[in-house]
Structure 1
Amino acid sequence: MIITITIVNWLLRLIDAYSIVLVIYALMSWIPSLYGTWFGRFIIKISRPYLSLFENLPLSFAGLDFSILVAVIVLQFIQRFIMIVVNGILF
């Protein structure tokens, strides 16, 4: 049981970390020269596969793209769902 809790905690931390990566990706759009750096290429490489799931949704309004916001919200829902399931099973 302790191992399960540890694995779930790590999974929840990874989701938090990935959410931060997505926010960094969004902030990089304000300074486009960051995309060419090694850090920018790394952020793009790990964030684009997940963000590509939201590309075909009509999430652009008034010239702003809200796909990253929706992607982070979906991650938060997944995180909450995992917590509810684990609490229901273990406790």
Structure 2
Amino acid sequence: MFVFWLVQLISKAIYLYTVLLVIYALLSWFPGGYQSSFGRFLAKICEPYLGLFDHLNLSFGPVNFNIAFAIIVLQLASQALVLILNRIAFMF
């Protein structure tokens, strides 16, 4: 039962973080979006994770796909973690 709640908590937290990453990416469309208090708050939350993907340089012209790749990696890791926790739960 504990593993079920843990899986639910992890899934919801990763979903929320994914939404924050998408909002952070959309802020680039607005002039001064990153300089607002909300933009600075999101930067403190999102940039440590996004910094892991900076060296990949997934820019094609003026479009940077680092955030999209980071979201895909986050979702794949989430699915793998949920699968592992579910298998552990069924073992006991």
TM-score normalised by structure 2 residue count: 0.90
Query: What is the alpha-carbon root mean square deviation over aligned residues?
Result: 1.1
3-state SS in 2 of match to 1:42: helix
Off by >3 Å, runs of 4+ in structure 1: none
Shift of 1:36: 1.8
1:23-81 CA-to-partner distances (Å, cap 9, x unmatched) read: 00110000032222211110111000000000010301122100000000001001110
Report the counterpart of residue 52 of structure 2 in structure 1: 53
Instruction: Specify the alignment match of 1:8 in structure 2.
Output: 7
Shift in Å at residue 82 of structure 1? 1.2
Normalising by structure 1, report the TM-score: 0.91
Distance in 2 (alpha carbons) for counterparts of 1:9 and 1:67 = 27
Name the stretch that deviates more: 78-87 or 21-30.
78-87
Which runs of 5 or more residues in structure 2 are unaligned?
none
Check if 1:35 corresponds to 2:62: no
Q: How many residue pairs get matched?
A: 90
In structure 2, the residue matched to 1:25 is: 24
The structure showing larger relative contact order (alpha-carbon pairs under 8 Å, at least 6 residues apart) is 2
Following TM superposition, by how much is the alpha carbon of 1:12 offset from its aligned partner in structure 2, in angstroms? 1.2
Unaligned runs of at least 5 residues, structure 1: none
1:70 is aligned to 69
In structure 2, give the amino acid aligned to 1:30. Answer: W
The answer (yes or no) to whether the contact 2:58–2:65 under 8 Å persists in 1 is yes
